[in-house]
Amino acid sequence: MRARERFTTTLITALFVAGLTATAAPASTPRSDVRLSNDRAGGYTSTYTMATGQPYTDATLTECSRSRGRQNEPSVAIDPRDQRVMVGSSNDYCGVYNDGVDADGAPIASGPIWLGYYRSTNGGGSFASSLVPGYPGDTSPYAARAHIRTASAGDPVLAWDNHGRLFAGSESSDDPAGSKKTFGDAWVATFQNPAGPSGSTLRDGSEFVRSEIVARGSSAPNLLGKFNDKTAIEVDRTGGSCDGTVYFAWSRFTNNSSNIYLSRSTDHGSTWSTPRLLTTRVNDVQVPEVTVTGNGHVYVTWLATIGNKRTETDAVQYAKSSTCGATFTPARTVVTFEGYAHQDSGFRDCGDAASACPSGYTFFRADTTPRSATDQADRTSENVHIVYDAAYGPDVATGSSYGMVAPGVGSLSAAYYVVLHGATGTHTAPVLVDRPTKQHQLFPDIALNAGTAHVIWWDSRNDSSCADATACARQPVGNTADRHVVQDALDVYGKAFPVSTGPAAGTAVRVSDTSSNPNFEQFSGRTVPFAGDYLWVDSVGTTTFTTWTDWRDTVPGSDARETSVAGTPEPNEGADVLQCRASATAGDTCPRAGGLDQNIYGDLAP
């Protein structure tokens, strides 16, 4: 779920300090990283223009082409018919400042947060950037095909069928009328080859066909009421009786409870079945994943908190359908483990001002996130391959209010791999994907292809803020003990290994060319960091490609408001970004100068 921008301006004097670039770490995969979100120098083109060649633009696309804005929570999907074609997406904030300036000359942050549409036809060598149609201000011929009701959208998930169609799922929230109500709908967009399934595969997934609401939330302020979130999507590509069926799952939050639902479409996203409840009598469930095995059976996995207060633990659970998603078995547990969440006094992210935490650290939201994958071409087994990040001991007293497994208790985190044998309900023992030495491993993802598992994750092994495992467990990623933030905290790593032998047979490889700082305070009025809740990897044929949120282009700075509040110049903690403020009450007059330049990058992966 994307971070909501608090559109407020507070405090103070104009001051900025540029400098400090990200530090390069050891050698990475041979090809250079590629940028998917080209939000500068005329970088965004309408999907209508991409598909038809007819010119079209609007204020939002114009803003996106100069914004140097924020993008996070990326996804990517490779066309199974043509490995040269891949589409990525993200929570894209590029249009936020498209609505003029206030009385002090500060751009007004009231434009849409939407789904990016990043298209490559050269195997991920480069991407053309756009937005999924239907955003506020879209008056292209495609706009009327978006049958949705929202002023913002996020949590993008992508999947292809075998006939040139791409499906993009989303949650949505804001009221187009501008009220404080949040609709909480979930919807799916369909793209197709404009020449049909027999057309040139280089045009697959280029024509926007429609967006349809799959599940309606209830209008209520501040994400209350019934809110659908944490989306997942998959399409049956087995060639069997369910071929072409689209499966879409999500978490439904109602006050303090949550459940997993699934809907299916048998007509390419035109209509959707009544949402089916998959969970009952659990404490909390989130982060569903949908997979299809080679025999057409559907599996939905998710993160659950189970047990009572004395025995409560995290678990990966699942439900199975052998009826093309018409019915599902009751939920079952695959594995239990000690999950984690970086937190301080109940806060999942910490920064400055109202977002400051008692520990004094600055850190982004990160917690346990299971992912799963299958190989639909595998007709010999019914295996579901699962990765999840869990606490990796020993537990360490942090000496502050910051904690990871409990208040004041820290740990490392590691990615684990387990295989569910769906036909029998048994599973392998969980094993480490890559044993940590002093680092955190965050947000793993997995793709299956021709008997090989491809796993990627964020990795802090090159983090210069801590020297050993104890120190790294005691403080948040990228934070020194004296509360400074470093610029080289995170990289993307990956490993490929045969499923017949498991992770012990592979070697971890650095994917990202440049280490970067995920703790830049770019959200909530430049007071708190946000990195998103997932990375993504896909693998088709001989191509494996991964995407991630990246800060190499962010311009550091100094926040004059903190000087004003403290009465003395603030220490350079390394988390502030470039910003310009004309007075104690004015907003940031230079949001396009690089302080908000958070981007989506990608590269070939092991």
For residue 80, the SS3 value is: coil
Please say whether the beta carbons of 168 and 132 come within 8 A: yes
Return the number of other C-beta atoms located less than 10 Å from residue 409's C-beta: 17
Give burial (CB, 10 Å; 0-12/13-18/19+) of 202. middle
Distance CA(258)–CA(349), nearest Å, equals 22
Per residue in 278-314, pLDDT tens?
998 777 899 999 999 999 999 999 999 998 878 889 9
Sequence-distant (≥ 6) Cβ neighbours of residue 256 within 8 angstroms: none
Please say whether the beta carbons of 368 and 305 come within 8 A: no
Structure tokens at 413: 């985190």
Sequence-distant (≥ 6) Cβ neighbours of residue 293 within 8 angstroms: 299, 374, 376, 378, 381, 382, 383, 384, 422
Please say whether the beta carbons of 272 and 212 come within 8 A: yes
Distance CA(317)–CA(484), nearest Å, equals 39
Give burial (CB, 10 Å; 0-12/13-18/19+) of 482. exposed
Distance CA(242)–CA(113), nearest Å, equals 35
Place of tokens 């989306």: 231
602: enclosing H helix or E strand: strand 599-604
Give the E-state strand segments of 245-377 in sequence order: 246-254, 257-265, 276-277, 284-292, 298-306, 313-321, 332-337, 343-344, 371-373
Residues in the chain: 606
Distance CA(490)–CA(443), nearest Å, equals 12
Return the number of other C-beta atoms located less than 10 Å from residue 180's C-beta: 10
- What are the Cα distances from residue 343, in Å, to 238, 249, 351, 527? 43, 28, 12, 16
In order, the DSSP letters of 396-464 are EE-SSSEESSBTTEEEEEEEEEEEEETTTTEEPPPEESS--SS--EEEEEEEEETTEEEEEEEE-TT-T
- What are the Cα distances from residue 254, in Å, to 2, 155, 257, 346? 18, 18, 5, 20
Distance CA(276)–CA(330), nearest Å, equals 12
Residues of the chain with pLDDT under 70: 1-26, 175, 177-178, 181, 219-225, 563-572, 584
Give the E-state strand segments of 36-134 in sequence order: 71-78, 86-92, 114-120, 128-131
User: In 3D, which of 171, 172, 211, 215 has the Cα closest to residue 191?
Assistant: 211
For residue 167, the SS3 value is: strand
Structure tokens at 79: 């066309």
pLDDT in the model for residue 225: 66
Q: Which residues pair with 389 in a beta bridge?
A: 415
Query: Does residue 394 have a cis peptide bond before it, meaning omega lies within 30 degrees of 0?
Result: yes
50: enclosing H helix or E strand: helix 47-52
Sequence-distant (≥ 6) Cβ neighbours of residue 570 within 8 angstroms: 558, 559, 562, 563, 576
For residue 114, the SS3 value is: strand
- What are the Cα distances from residue 563, in Å, to 88, 144, 439, 476, 590? 40, 49, 34, 25, 19
Distance CA(270)–CA(19), nearest Å, equals 51
User: What amino acid occupies position 62?
Assistant: T
CATH, domain 34-604, list 3.40.50.740, 3.40.50.620, 2.120.10.10, 3.40.50.300: 2.120.10.10
Q: Which residues pair with 252 in a beta bridge?
A: 228, 259
Please report how many Cα atoms fall inside a 13 Å half-sphere around the Cα of residue 413, on the Cβ side: 31
Place of tokens 């559907």: 298
pLDDT in the model for residue 15: 25
Check residue 183 and report its DSSP letter. -
Q: What is the largest CA-CA distance in the chain?
A: 70
For residue 473, the SS3 value is: helix
